[in-house]
Amino acid sequence: MSERTLSPGNIALSAFSVIVLFVLVAPILVIVLVSFTPGDLMQFPPQGFSLRWYQRYFEDPQWQSATALSFLVAGLTAVFSLVLGFLTSLALVRGRFPGKNALRIFLMSPLIIPKIIVAVGLYFLYVRMRILGTTFGLVAAHTLIAMPYVVMILSAALFGFDRRLEWAARNLGASPLKTLWHVTLPLLRPAIISAALFAFIASFDDIILSLFLTKLSAPTLPRQIWVNVQQVIDPTIAAVSTLMTLISVLGLWLVALIQRMAARGAR
Sign of CA dihedral 35, 36, 42, 45: negative
- The CA angle 58-145-228, to the nearest 5 degrees, is 30
Applying CB under 8 A, among 58, 186, 233, 260 the residue interacting with other proteins is 186
Rank residues 167 and 253 by Cβ distance to other proteins and give the closer one: 167
Q: What is the DSSP string of 172-185?
A: TT--HHHHIIIIIH
Binding-residue pattern over the window 135 to 154 for other proteins, x denoting contact by CB under 8 A: --------------------
C-alpha triplet 80, 225, 212: angle, nearest 5°: 55
Which one of residues 183, 199, 208, 225 is an interface residue with other proteins (CB under 8 A)? 183
Q: How far apart are the first and last CA of the chain?
A: 25
- 178 lies in the binding site for other proteins (CB under 8 A): yes
Contacting residue, 21, 24, 41, 168, with other proteins by CB under 8 A: 168
Angle between helices 236-266 and 52-59 (to 10 degrees): 80
Give yes or no for residue 171 binding other proteins (CB under 8 A). Answer: yes
Residue 41, Cβ density class (10 Å: 0-12 exposed, 13-18 middle, ≥19 buried):
exposed
Residues contacting other proteins: total by CB under 8 A: 22
In the complex with other proteins, which residue's Cβ is closer, 73 or 183? 183
Q: Which of 18, 20, 165, 256 binds other proteins (CB under 8 A)?
A: 165
Q: Which is nearer to other proteins, 112 or 266 (CB)?
A: 266
Enumerate binding residues for other proteins (CB under 8 A): 162, 164-165, 167-176, 178-179, 182-183, 186-187, 265-267
